[in-house]
Structure 1
Amino acid sequence: MIYRTNEEATFKTEMKTHLIQIEMDTNKIIESIDQTDQCLLCELESLHDQFNAMHAEASSFYLQSYMEEFTPAFAEFSIAIEQLSKQKHGALIVIQRRDEVENFIQKGTPLHARISASLIESIFYPGNPLHDGALLVKENTLVSAANLLPLTSKKVNPSLGTRHRAAIGLSGMTDALVLVVSEETGKMSFAKEGVLYPLTVKDRSQM
């Protein structure tokens, strides 16, 4: 666990560096805000880009931290959901951790296949009979597809679709991580402990 401790320390140092830079840039904007020739919109766009870069780094770091003890295939999932997101192919992927999840789901079609990004992408390709349900993952195995998950009973944002409600529902009943790609927007997110978090996959060349 020394490796993970060192990695986390490095991550937090990088986050501090980013935040200090954002603070400095924000102070510069405040100091010059009354200047008539200042492009405030340009300055805000720069801050937005910096926050987006931080979010990509943080979401990738924490998701990998939550997954790595339970599946060695984080890179394959990153590749798959990034491609699914670009194509706006909806996806719902359950990563089982300590809690057994099969008692909470309506079982779909058995797969028992080794994890690969290309297989995950093909499962969620529109028109594939397996693409509408959830993919269940245990360790390094794609166990089954087209599983039905329990929907959350919590009051959530009305804009959230069935996939997101299912992700929140199952993750609130078990310690599973549930990855979601929206078919409408292509946006990625993951659910943990009944809470949905936006996800930006870090550039694979930096992983």
Structure 2
Amino acid sequence: MDNVDCDFTTMTQILKEDIHKVISELQINLEAIEDENNCLLCNFEKIKEEFLDIEIKAATFYLNCYLAPFTDKYPELSMSLQNMARMRHGGLIVIEREDSLETLIRPGIPIGAELTHSLLESIFYPGNPLHDGAVLVRLNKIVSAANVLPLSDIYMGDKKLGTRHRAALGLSERSDALVLIVSEETGRVSFAKGGNMYPITTQGNP
């Protein structure tokens, strides 16, 4: 993940420029829509990709801002997400913020160790007995691993959403926790907050 500083003014300017570019392209397509010889499908696909790129930039920036008051370990988290995404090792990392999670999480195995990228990656290494559950992070420490999170009711019937993503949404619906997810199927990284899922970028992430 890029090292993003919480410079709101700079990021706002970048997002404004990107959005204005998309608006200009939409205007061009609006003017060309009357031309029956002009197929706009490829243009729409390009604009859709540009919208996704804007969303990813914004989500990556805001994630760092959301994390900053609650942990100093953003660089370690970032590195672990990069490595896990590249190797397609699934992961589920809960960052506790103001809400207590004791009544929401079924506790797993106590760890009580300083958060490092190597420890996180070893926990989620395929075959490790702890890799299927969620890691709980409080401040700068890994509190526990193999925790079980409540599943979201919203997507119970959606077969396209995996258990990790449903668990991340479920906890974020019930608390202010931030939940980071690495998909083992695609290597894509996202985070859940307030019952919503946001894609973020990592270096080399597809």
Residue in structure 2 matched with residue 187 of structure 1 by the alignment: 188
Query: What are the Cα deviations for residues 52-96 of structure 1, in whole angstroms up to 9, with x where unaligned?
Result: 331221011111121110011223222222332233221111000
Distance 1:156 1:64 in 2: 30
How do residues 112-131 of structure 1 correspond to structure 2 at under 5 angstroms? Answer: 112-131=112-131
Distance in 2, Cα, partners of 1:63 & 1:115: 18
Partner of residue 77, structure 1: 77
CA contact (8 A) 2:110 2:143 kept: yes
In structure 2, the residue corresponding to 1:110 is in which secondary structure? strand
Identity of aligned residues (%): 43
- Tell me whether 1:163 sits opposite 2:180 in the alignment: no
Instruction: Give the structure with the larger helix fraction.
Output: 1
1:19-168 aligned at under 5 Å gives the runs 19-33=19-33, 34=35, 36=37, 40-156=40-156, 158-159=158-159, 160-168=161-169
Contact 2:108 2:148 (C-alpha < 8 Å) held by counterparts:
yes
Give 1:45 deviation, angstroms: 4.4
Instruction: State the Cα distance separating 1:202 from its structure 2 match.
Output: 5.2
2:177 alignment counterpart: 176
Q: How many residues matched?
A: 198
Partner of 1:11: 11
Q: After alignment, is 92-101 or 184-193 more displaced? A: 184-193
Kindly provide the amino acid, as one letter, of the partner of residue 139 in structure 2.
E
**CA separation in 2, counterparts of 1:152 and 1:21?**
36
Provide TM-score, normalisation by structure 1.
0.83
SS of the aligned residue for 1:102 comes to: coil
Deviation at 1:20, TM superposition (A): 0.8
C-alpha displacement of 1:25: 2.0
Local SS of the residue matching 1:143: strand
Distance in 1 (alpha carbons) for counterparts of 2:47 and 2:71 = 35
* Structure 1, unpaired ranges of 5+: none
> Does the CA-based 8 Å contact 2:84-2:121 persist in structure 1?
yes
Deviates more, 1:141-150 or 1:40-49: 40-49
Amino acid at match of 1:121: E
User: Which whole-Å CA distance do the structure 2 matches of 1:202 and 1:35 have between them?
Assistant: 41
Distance 2:82 2:26 in 1: 31
C-alpha deviations, 1:76-122, integer Å up to 9, x for none? 22222233223322111100001221332222122222222222122
Shift of 1:130: 0.8
**Partner SS state of residue 97, structure 1:** coil
User: What is the TM-score normalised by the length of structure 2?
Assistant: 0.83
